[in-house]
């Protein structure tokens, strides 16, 4: 069946119509409040709609057909993803108004990580927080990690993967036999790697100190960590391409920003490799992961002890879904195109077939 994939971001709405072979036959990139009806007017009516939903909580461990009960529960989960969930639900409602008779499926960024074992998912915090508030490691970017790990397994047959989704947001996953066993994002998408405007992991004591001694409100601290940190705070730009260009020209702030980014990336890959019990393949995806040969090179150079080594010509080459491993390296390194749309379409078909 052909599937309309709806991917709502913080400021954009991406629509992709995929045929039964997952070929994109129509595409539209709209502002978040764009006219969905106008965009879809000229397209053939899809057999199903697949929506990317950021947070499924502990309720949804796989894609699910959306009915009134599911829609209500998704709204109730908004507090766990206040920046992202409302955008997803707004897009869901807009598309439903245009295609009210077409079955719709929710596909969750958290679902892939529901296989993480308790030892990795549990924070050492009061049990009451866990039981009352659902405090645990949820993980995100699951649709991307699911797709690129499956694609990497198709190409290499590897059992133990570390998948690196590096874009404006960034996270890693440890994947064993196709299942997530750990990831760098946690209760929120703020934990883990240094990102474009997000800090990644910081000492929680810093947050308490700012609120107690500097009298900053939770909103002020959250806004700073989510929107004014990361590469933007260190280099004055959230664009990794500009960071790299300025670092190559000798700019000290950009050089530090790049070094901090690589340091956090490398130690996090090491942690994920440990969670997986070793590493057979390292996989890069996302805007930075696919397009920055420098990021891959600098990361790999510091991961030689894990058997990672890149061939310079392959690493600098063009194209995705390619092997950039140096001859003789113990572990393979791949560059895989991010295809959340394909993952959403496949999960949508599977959810409807299961019914």
pLDDT for 355: 64
pLDDT band, very low/low/confident/very high, at 254 (cuts 50, 70, 90)? very high
The beta-carbon contacts of 134-138 under 8 Å, at least 24 apart in sequence, are: 134/57, 134/58, 134/80, 135/187, 136/58, 136/187, 137/113, 137/183, 137/185, 137/186, 137/187, 138/55, 138/57, 138/80, 138/110, 138/113, 138/185, 138/186, 138/187
pLDDT for 341: 97
Question: Which range among 88-92, 247-251, 262-266 shows the weakest confidence by mean pLDDT?
Answer: 88-92
DSSP, residue by residue, 165-215: EESSSEEEEEEETTEEEEES--SSTTSSS--SS---S--HHHHHHHHHHS-
Length of the chain: 355
Handedness of CA 217, 219, 221, 223 (dihedral sign): negative
Distance CA 26, CA 121 (A): 39
Q: Is 75 helix (H, G, I), strand (E, B) or coil?
A: helix
Across the chain, mean pLDDT equals 96
Q: What is the mean pLDDT of residues 55-71?
A: 95
Q: Which residue is it, tokens 């309720």?
A: 59
Out of 29, 33, 67, 109, which one is annotated catalytic? 109
pLDDT for 331: 98
pLDDT for 11: 72
pLDDT for 83: 80
Output DSSP code: residue 249. T
**Residue-wise pLDDT tens digits, 265-274:** 999 999 999 9
Question: In 3D, which of 120, 134, 130 has the Cα closest to residue 59?
Answer: 134
Question: In 3D, which of 50, 33, 111, 36 has the Cα closest to residue 77?
Answer: 111
Q: What is the mean pLDDT of residues 272-279?
A: 98
Return the H-helix or E-strand segment holding 107: strand 104-108
Q: Is 124 helix (H, G, I), strand (E, B) or coil?
A: coil
Q: What is the mean pLDDT of residues 264-287?
A: 98
Distance CA 114, CA 91 (A): 25
**Residue-wise pLDDT tens digits, 195-231:** 999 999 999 999 999 999 999 999 999 999 999 999 9
**Residue-wise pLDDT tens digits, 16-57:** 999 999 999 999 999 878 899 999 988 999 999 999 999 999
Answer yes or no: 109 catalytic: yes
Question: What domains does the chain contain, in order, with CATH numbers?
Answer: 3-138 (3.30.420.40), 157-335 (3.30.420.40)
Residues 6+ apart with CB under 8 A from 122: 130, 136, 137
Q: Is 151 helix (H, G, I), strand (E, B) or coil?
A: helix
């Amino acid at each position: 069946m052909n599937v309309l994939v709806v991917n709502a971001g913080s400021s954009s709405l991406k629509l992709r119509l995929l045929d039964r072979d997952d070929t994109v036959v129509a595409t539209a990139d709209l502002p978040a409040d764009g006219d969905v009806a106008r965009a879809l007017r000229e397209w053939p009516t899809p057999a199903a709609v697949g929506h990317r939903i950021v947070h499924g909580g502990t309720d949804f461990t796989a894609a699910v057909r959306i009915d009134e009960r599911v829609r209500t529960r998704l709204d109730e989960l908004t507090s766990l993803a206040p920046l992202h969930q409302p955008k997803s639900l707004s897009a869901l409602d807009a598309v439903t108004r245009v295609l009210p008779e077409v079955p719709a499926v929710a596909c969750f960024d958290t679902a892939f990580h529901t296989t993480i074992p308790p030892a990795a998912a549990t924070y050492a915090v009061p049990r009451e927080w866990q039981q009352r508030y659902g405090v645990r490691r949820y993980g995100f970017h699951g649709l991307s990690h699911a797709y690129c790990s499956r694609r990497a397994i198709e190409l290499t047959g590897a059992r133990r993967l570390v998948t690196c989704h590096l874009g404006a947001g960034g996270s890693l996953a440890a994947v064993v036999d196709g299942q997530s066993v750990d990831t760098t994002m946690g209760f929120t998408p703020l934990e883990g790697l240094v990102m474009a405007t997000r800090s990644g992991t910081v000492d929680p004591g810093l947050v308490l100190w700012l609120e107690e001694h500097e009298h900053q409100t939770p909103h002020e601290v959250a806004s700073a960590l989510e929107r004014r940190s990361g590469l933007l705070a260190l280099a004055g730009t959230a664009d990794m391409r500009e960071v790299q260009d300025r670092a190559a020209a000798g700019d000290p702030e950009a050089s530090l920003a790049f070094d901090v980014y690589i340091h956090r990336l490398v130690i996090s890959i090491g942690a994920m490799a440990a969670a997986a019990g070793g590493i057979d393949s390292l996989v890069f995806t996302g805007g930075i992961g696919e397009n920055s040969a420098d990021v891959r090179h600098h990361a790999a150079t510091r991961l030689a002890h894990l058997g990672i080594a890149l061939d310079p010509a392959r690493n600098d080459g063009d194209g995705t879904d390619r092997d950039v491993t140096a001859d003789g390296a113990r572990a393979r390194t791949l560059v895989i195109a991010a295809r959340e749309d394909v993952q959403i379409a496949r999960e949508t078909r599977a959810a409807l077939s299961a019914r």
